[in-house]
Amino acid sequence: MQDKILEKVYKLKTYPGNPRVIKDYKFRALVESIKGFPEMLKVRSLVVNEKMQVIGGNMRLKAAIYLGYKEVWIEKVFGWSEQKQREFMIKDNNSLGEWDHDLLANDWNEQDLINWSLDLPNDNVFDKLDFDTERAGVEQLKCEYCGK
């Protein structure tokens, strides 16, 4: 790997058969994320092979082009087999960790997390209510199909 360098976007190409895509609101969220914090593009530079094909950061490149960037930060890898490049593409985008939702709820600002495009769980608040609905005089709703 070489040091990070600033490269013209027109010199970069997508890797043939890259299975990673981004659509709709997630793409808009990535664009807004980069617009609000462009320094991340240097810290999380794109990874390219000797042919200038992006094997890490295709969606960030797409967002940068959408924003009108003419240059982006890259790191170039040399001598990687096609298998190693394909492995990198998957592992680079594979999120193995989990969020500590209690910590997020107690120590982080919910609106910031939403603005930063964190997918928060859509818990049903009624599943967590700690009261007896029958005793409280609340009619229990039942599914017309399954009866639950």
pLDDT of amino acid 127 = 45
Do residues 35 and 108 make contact, with C-beta atoms less than 8 angstroms apart? no
User: Coil, helix or strand for 43?
Assistant: helix
CATH of domain 5-93: 3.90.1530.10
Q: What is the pLDDT along the chain (148 residues), one digit of tens a residue?
A: 678 999 999 999 998 888 888 888 889 999 999 999 999 999 999 999 999 999 999 999 999 999 999 999 999 999 999 999 999 999 988 877 888 888 888 889 888 888 887 877 765 434 444 445 455 555 556 666 666 6
User: Coil, helix or strand for 58?
Assistant: helix
Domain ranges of the chain: 5-93
pTM: 0.74
pLDDT of amino acid 95 = 75
Element spanning 71, H or E:
strand 71-76
